[in-house]
Structure 1
Amino acid sequence: MSEASERTPVDVAVGVLVAPDGRFLLTSRPEGKVYAGHWEFPGGKLEAGETVEEALRRELHEELGITIGPAEPWKIELMDYPHARVRLHFCKVYAWQGEFEMRERQQMAWQTLPVEVVPVLPGTVPVLAWFAEERGFTGATHTAA
């Protein structure tokens, strides 16, 4: 068995916030974290006993200061990073309340395809491809970093 397959994945809830006009929210990873400055969909690790939606609700409130409406489970992707193996549970979110506050001093950007922010975290790339497929987009989904 390879070393990667022996590592137990960490479950992560990821929010794909979609505005009424179809734009989606990306946030930058804060300084001091692995991949600082890379753009991603916001979210975080599940705590013991939490469901994906509970974790997403908690994380988006902690990081962005918003309260989300229903989280619609979308897709699950397994990513092997040098520092961790993560199972990303992507959920679409169409409704939220509150003003966005970047509580970890991260940046936020509403994006369309192709995304204009770089560099993009590797775990974000599949989501951009899924959006392109859903929306019939034929161009590049992101700019090369």
Structure 2
Amino acid sequence: MILTTMCYIQKGNQTLMLHRNKKENDINGGKWIGVGGKFEAGESVEECMKREIYEETGLTALKLQLHGFVVFPQLYHGQDEGMFVYTCSEFSGELHECDEGDLQWVDNEKIPHLPMWEGDYHFFEWIQDDRFHSAKIYYQNDHVIEYQESCY
């Protein structure tokens, strides 16, 4: 299983979203996502999340909140992906250009209208409560064919 992180950085009623439009053969190509990525050797989940935030945005995460963990069976080039979903509302620094796509602060009410992975819309429900979410999302041809979720 490939382990990854995803964070929705928030300020006021906006969320920093990444429009993946710069990499060739990008599994996320054309979609709007949070920032994040794959673990490097020896990293904890929090170290990975903070590093990815800094590398992709130039921002330093001061406080992270974990909302859940999701498994995507055979999504990542035939391998299972496990992803930790975070938010960050306390950060420092200035945004810089990202080589994976365009970063943009998006009004939260506009997020449901962005072209995203179908399963990602659930993550915005997760961040509205104080529960921990665990999910398995099955995709086929870029569409959710099954969604299983538990909350704690």
Structure 1 pair 78–111 and aligned structure 2 pair: CA distance change class (3 A): farther
TM-score, normalization by structure 1: 0.74
2:23 alignment partner AA: E
Pairing partner for 1:61 from 48, 54, 67 = 54
Q: Are 2:57 and 2:97, in contact at CA under 8 Å, matched by a contact in 1?
A: yes
Pairing partner for 1:40 from 10, 30, 33 = 33
Q: Does residue 103 of the first structure (1) align with residue 98 of the second (2)?
A: yes
Partner of 1:86: 81
2:8 alignment partner AA: V
CA distance, structure 1, for counterparts of residue 111 and residue 93 of structure 2 = 25
Percentage of pairs with the same residue: 21
Q: Are 2:67 and 2:126, in contact at CA under 8 Å, matched by a contact in 1?
A: no
Number of corresponding residues: 125
Q: CA deviation at 1:40?
A: 0.6
Query: 26-35 vs 44-53, which deviates more?
Result: 26-35
Q: Are 1:79 and 1:123, in contact at CA under 8 Å, matched by a contact in 2?
A: no
CA distance, structure 2, for counterparts of residue 132 and residue 68 of structure 1 = 20
Q: Does residue 15 of the first structure (1) align with residue 3 of the second (2)?
A: no
**4+ runs deviating over 3 angstroms:** 131-134
More helix by share: 1
Structure 1 pair 133–69 and aligned structure 2 pair: CA distance change class (3 A): closer
Q: Are 2:65 and 2:88, in contact at CA under 8 Å, matched by a contact in 1?
A: yes
Partner of 2:126: 130
Q: Are 1:10 and 1:85, in contact at CA under 8 Å, matched by a contact in 2?
A: yes
Give the unaligned 5+ runs of structure 2: 131-152
CA distance, structure 1, for counterparts of residue 51 and residue 9 of structure 2 = 15
2:59 alignment partner AA: I
TM-score, normalization by structure 2: 0.71
Q: CA deviation at 1:43?
A: 0.4
Give the unaligned 5+ runs of structure 1: 1-8, 135-145
